Structure 1
Amino acid sequence: MEIFKFGGASVKDALGVKNFKRVLEKLEAKDVVIVISAMGKMTNAFEGLVRAYVDKDGHVEEHLTTIRNFHLDILDDLDFDQDDSIFESVEGIFSDLSNFLTKNNSTDYDYIYDQVVSKGEMLSTRICSAYLNRSGIRNNWLDVRKCIKTNSDFRRARVHWEATEKAIKTELKGKGITITQGFIGSDNYGRTTTLGREGSDYTAGIFAYCLEAATVSIFKDVPGVLNADPREFDETRLIEQISYKEAIEMAFYGASVIHPKTLQPLQRKSIPLRVRSFLDTDAKGTFVGSELDIVPKTSCYIVKKNQILISISDKEFHFVMENDISEIFRMLHELKLKVNLIQNSALSFSVCIEDNFNNFERLLQNLEPGYKVKYNKNLVLYTVRHFDEKAVDELEKGKELLLKQRSRETVQLIVKA
């Protein structure tokens, strides 16, 4: 058994879906679970729908129409007959979505988010599965919510591994090609949950672990793992091979090619991972495995934008002690504020965070009664793995530096955007 994962860029339009089919034909895919993300920028579009619904801004129907027409246009471009059952499947998903938006009584943003945004993966997999079947590539469509069992922590659900492994082995019957969704799971009450942004890679890792897959292939619109984001740096190099440990380090610091949680289940069972291009299946891409030196040995650059740097000190100029830091981290955890860097001194504690859940103002309200708080928004965090002084000097040039931290292998810089 192999696991393939295709991101939204690979199926962003009808040409992408057709190329997806060609990739499977060229690779002679047989016994494979294929995990697919929402098409193109549809996750962003569904997020816009959620905001409009929660804010009651009067544009819900406009968002729904845009999303619906996007998918119907792809069906038209794929030349489906109007009586094909795929139209009934797609309309059924939109009917379920409309019913939820009409009948929902919850005000929990994260719960609403998961019920709505997850429809992007349901639509993409239905369309891709139907197109393959029509093209003679027989496959089974699987609702991943029957398989991946999680807690009820919406938007960043934790996997119940024992229940998930049992469900996957029960639902995945026989051999052949199975099409399923990334990013999604369900809790004990049958409610849809999601595994975090870019969680489709993690889904591939979960299936690989539970099925003891031979390999995992993640197909991207880049040649593999690069030493820098080509959108941010003019010159980049392909990393030909890398260890699980190094890849986890890079993912932890924010490298976007591999989801941070994806590698851990693969490492536990030594399942090799290949990151490769869906545009050039002959290219080797990047191989990730056990105990591998990084090849080539080069500085690797990771960029995270929209960062917030907070400096926290005691109002009475007391030392910032372990109990203070523990309390601050409790607040950060409860408000789902992701920590990317910390620095401590006798009188202050600085932390660089990203506010993915729009909870920063609540953090300030919680901190200000007991602490003096200073902060800067809209910052950029640069992380350089395997740095040399020349690389760091070049990166600092022309930037307003707010904080710098280094260890043996890594330098981090926080600068104004």
Structure 2
Amino acid sequence: MKVFKFGGASVNSIERIQNVAAIIKEYSSDELMIIISAMGKTTNALEKVVEAFFAGDKENALQLFDGIKKQHTTTAKYLLVTHFNACIEQLNSFFTEVEWLLHDKPVREFDYYYDQVVCVGELLSTCIVSYYLNEMKVANKWIDVRDIIRTDDNFRDATIDWTYTAQRVNESIVPLFAANKIIITQGFIGATDENESTTLGREGSDFTAAIFANLLNAESQTIWKDVEAVMSADPKQFPDAEIIHELSFDEVIEMAYYGAQIIHPKTIKPLQNKGIPLHVKSFIDPSLPGTVIYKKQPKHLPPIIIIKQNQALLHLHSQDFSFVGEKPMSRLYEFFAHNKIRPNLIQTGAISLQVCLDDKSDKIDHLAAEASNIFDVQVEKGLSLLTIRHYTETLLDEMTTGKEIVLKQQDRQTVQVLYKN
């Protein structure tokens, strides 16, 4: 059994949906668990609906949502003939689910409403794709993933209840494969024990696919993207970036940690735990080999370049010139946790330390205010962070020549350089 995940770019037009169906048809002799994201920019559009609703502008929220309804109805109209009426009936039930909420007034926190509304994007896209596959004589079973994946109520970044979810997979998903080769469901979403919709945070659809791969003991997971494979750098910034055909789980986690827009570490862990290989392939040209990520440690990787713009540096100095020891450091990490901040680089000295962060003004202001209780704090902005894995001194010199370096940190495999823009 294989797990496939198709992202929003793969289903953002009628032609792309037809292409996804063609790919699935090629594998229709296999058992497939297929996870599909919301179409194109639907999630962004739904976010605007939530913002309008929460601001008390019900009419604007309903108008914005009406645009999303029309887009999906039109897509179904162009794709479907014999299955059109059944599809529209199911789509209307999802539309009603959101509209019922939008006619109310917000009495709970924003993140709760965010999840109740935004989750519909995946429900709409999978509904249309499932009916289109049936129209193309590719039999499949559609399921609502909220009936399977149980989470806590930490809306927008919910935590999986693995025990309950595993039980639901065994009770509900495994038996379905006795009668169905292909099961279609949603990424990114789950539900609490009170049947309130939740979302799983960044790269949630990839994570959903990994959850099913782990619990179904899949032979592999494939993420279908609009790129040829994993690259050694962003090809938009570095046209001579190399394709990397093999990567280890550890290397991908390192790359993601340093900011590469690749696979989120939370997606890797369920696969790594069971040794399930992850393939990254192009939905534009499925014949290309792509990248495989597995336990094996490939040798002779090229330098991997990651640049993070919009960085800020906090200079923290001991107020009484005492050593920056265990107690102030533990307090600092409490501040990180409280403000939901992950530092990109920390450099410590005897009586001072420097912390590089993404420049999100509200979070940095809160962190600086809290840290000022135990440190003298200065903030420096307008910086970029260069990270090179498997660097060479020649490449490092080439990348940093002429730059005003603020901070540098390196070991045998990785170098990080923070510089002024």
TM bucket by the smaller chain?
over 0.9
Give 1:371's aligned residue: 375
Contact 2:140/2:182 (8 A) holds in 1: yes
Aligned mates of 1:153, 1:135 — CA distance in 2: 39
| Equivalent position SS for 1:338 | coil
Give 2:227's aligned residue: 222
Aligned mates of 2:61, 2:383 — CA distance in 1: 32
1:27-66 alignment, distance < 5 Å: 27-56=27-56, 59-66=60-67
Render the CA deviation track for 1:330-352: whole Å, top value 9, x for unaligned: 12212222222212122222222
RMSD: 2.3
| Equivalent position SS for 1:216 | strand
Q: CA deviation at 1:79?
A: 4.5
CA 1:283/1:329 → structure 2, altered by over 3 Å: closer, same or farther? same
Give 2:95's aligned residue: 94
Contact 2:87/2:131 (8 A) holds in 1: yes
CA 1:57/1:353 → structure 2, altered by over 3 Å: closer, same or farther? farther
Give 2:119's aligned residue: 118
Return 244-253 or 136-145, whichever deviates more: 244-253
Structure 1 runs not aligned, ≥5 long: none
CA 1:25/1:344 → structure 2, altered by over 3 Å: closer, same or farther? same
1:18-29 alignment, distance < 5 Å: 18-29=18-29
Q: CA deviation at 1:140?
A: 0.9
Q: CA deviation at 1:326?
A: 1.1
CA 1:378/1:410 → structure 2, altered by over 3 Å: closer, same or farther? same
CA 1:92/1:239 → structure 2, altered by over 3 Å: closer, same or farther? same
Equivalent position amino acid for 1:47 in 2: E
Q: CA deviation at 1:227?
A: 0.8
Aligned mates of 1:40, 1:17 — CA distance in 2: 11
Aligned mates of 1:118, 1:307 — CA distance in 2: 31
The answer as to 2:150 corresponding to 1:149 is: yes
Give 2:412's aligned residue: 408
Aligned mates of 1:353, 1:394 — CA distance in 2: 25
| Equivalent position SS for 1:103 | coil
Give 2:216's aligned residue: 211
| Equivalent position SS for 2:276 | coil
Equivalent position amino acid for 1:69 in 2: K
The answer as to 2:389 corresponding to 1:385 is: yes
Contact 1:336/1:357 (8 A) holds in 2: no
Contact 1:337/1:355 (8 A) holds in 2: no
CA 1:74/1:204 → structure 2, altered by over 3 Å: closer, same or farther? same
Aligned mates of 1:57, 1:345 — CA distance in 2: 51
Give 1:333's aligned residue: 337
Q: CA deviation at 1:115?
A: 1.9
Give 1:127's aligned residue: 128
Aligned mates of 2:301, 2:284 — CA distance in 1: 26
Aligned mates of 2:420, 2:78 — CA distance in 1: 44
1:5-404 alignment, distance < 5 Å: 5-56=5-56, 59-80=60-81, 84-103=85-104, 105-172=106-173, 173-175=175-177, 176-294=181-299, 297-354=301-358, 359-377=363-381, 379-404=383-408
Contact 1:338/1:355 (8 A) holds in 2: no
Contact 2:80/2:132 (8 A) holds in 1: no
CA 1:50/1:314 → structure 2, altered by over 3 Å: closer, same or farther? farther
Render the CA deviation track for 1:287-330: whole Å, top value 9, x for unaligned: 11112314x52001123334333222233444322211211211
CA 1:340/1:116 → structure 2, altered by over 3 Å: closer, same or farther? farther
Aligned mates of 1:186, 1:392 — CA distance in 2: 47
Aligned mates of 2:67, 2:310 — CA distance in 1: 28
Contact 1:183/1:198 (8 A) holds in 2: yes
Aligned mates of 1:78, 1:236 — CA distance in 2: 38
Of all paired residues, the percent bearing the same amino acid is 39
Equivalent position amino acid for 2:349 in 1: S
CA 1:97/1:38 → structure 2, altered by over 3 Å: closer, same or farther? same
Structure 2 runs not aligned, ≥5 long: none
CA 1:394/1:189 → structure 2, altered by over 3 Å: closer, same or farther? farther
Render the CA deviation track for 1:209-244: whole Å, top value 9, x for unaligned: 101001111111111111111122221111111111
| Equivalent position SS for 1:258 | coil
Aligned mates of 1:402, 1:63 — CA distance in 2: 45
Contact 2:140/2:184 (8 A) holds in 1: yes
> What's the TM-score, normalizing by structure 2?
0.91
Contact 2:328/2:374 (8 A) holds in 1: no
Q: CA deviation at 1:29?
A: 4.9
Aligned mates of 1:358, 1:130 — CA distance in 2: 44
Return 337-346 or 122-131, whichever deviates more: 337-346
Aligned mates of 1:400, 1:95 — CA distance in 2: 56
Q: CA deviation at 1:33?
A: 0.4
Aligned mates of 1:46, 1:193 — CA distance in 2: 14
Equivalent position amino acid for 2:261 in 1: S
CA 1:28/1:298 → structure 2, altered by over 3 Å: closer, same or farther? same
CA 1:101/1:402 → structure 2, altered by over 3 Å: closer, same or farther? farther
| Equivalent position SS for 1:404 | strand
| Equivalent position SS for 1:383 | strand
Render the CA deviation track for 1:19-62: whole Å, top value 9, x for unaligned: 00011122335311001111112222222333333344674234
Aligned mates of 2:323, 2:242 — CA distance in 1: 45
Aligned mates of 1:79, 1:144 — CA distance in 2: 24
Equivalent position amino acid for 2:160 in 1: V
Equivalent position amino acid for 2:117 in 1: V
